[in-house]
Amino acid sequence: MSTIILTLIGLITAAVHIAAEYSGNRRRIYIFKPMTTCLIIAIAVLSEQPPTPLYYGLIIAGLLFSLAGDVFLMLPSDQFIAGLVSFLLAHLLYIAAFLTDSGFATSWWYIPLLYGIVMYLILSPHIGQLRVPVVIYIVVILVMGWQAAGRWHTVANASSLRGMIGAVLFVISDTTLALNRFRKPFKHARALTMSSYYAAQWLLAMSITMA
């Protein structure tokens, strides 16, 4: 019941935040963006029957670093690198979580490789001095998605399915963010970025529950 209530409240706060992004209401952004992630963290903390205690701890740690990234990226000063590093650490923690009950996946390696090459070629003319951190981030988030898919292929349970879908949505969210920031802004970028981001984090939090 608590998960349902927190999820419903989170849907409301996420909608308010996304609307504030378009209206330019900075006060609402400062309140409702971290509030939504905090609600998702609460869902993770209250989860029962995790795959392993280590998985539980790693996912929650990843969500906490994501919260830090949210805060950095919403500040009026450009804290893009700090936000990038926070999310980079979050993805490394998610990768570690996916490996706890399935080991390192080696199949399907060509899918993240091809995706990464395409994204690099698209972004390369526009990233300038951020080339190294952006490339590192692309590699890490694609490894995260790859290992989430590998875990689902290996253990094939509800937890791994939620984790895989969440990881894929995270890749979609960050792809949209990168294209909008570095290549060409487009009207619905923020709505797509944040809706897929919140859904990804919610699914990763829900992946703690085996049922």
Q: What pTM, to 2 d.p., does this model score?
A: 0.94
Cα–Cα dist 145/171, whole Å = 7
Domain assignment of residue 94, given as a range: 2-206
In a domain, 31, yes or no: yes
In a domain, 87, yes or no: yes
Cα–Cα dist 22/7, whole Å = 23
Top pLDDT among 25 and 187 is at 25
Give 164's pLDDT tier (boundaries 50, 70, 90).
very high
Structure confidence at residue 67 (pLDDT): 97
3-state secondary structure of 46: coil
Reported as a single tens digit per residue, the pLDDT across 75-129 is 877 788 899 999 999 999 999 999 998 889 888 899 999 999 999 999 999 998 8
Structure confidence at residue 183 (pLDDT): 87
Q: Residue 147's Cα: distance from chain center in Å?
A: 14
Count of structural domains, the chain = 1
In a domain, 49, yes or no: yes
> Which residue matches tokens 């706890």?
100
User: Considering only CA atoms, which of 79, 45, 73 is closest in space to residue 59?
Assistant: 45
In a domain, 111, yes or no: yes
Residue pair 74/31 in contact (Cβ under 8 Å)? The answer is: no
Reported as a single tens digit per residue, the pLDDT across 34-62 is 999 999 999 999 998 888 899 999 999 99
In a domain, 211, yes or no: no
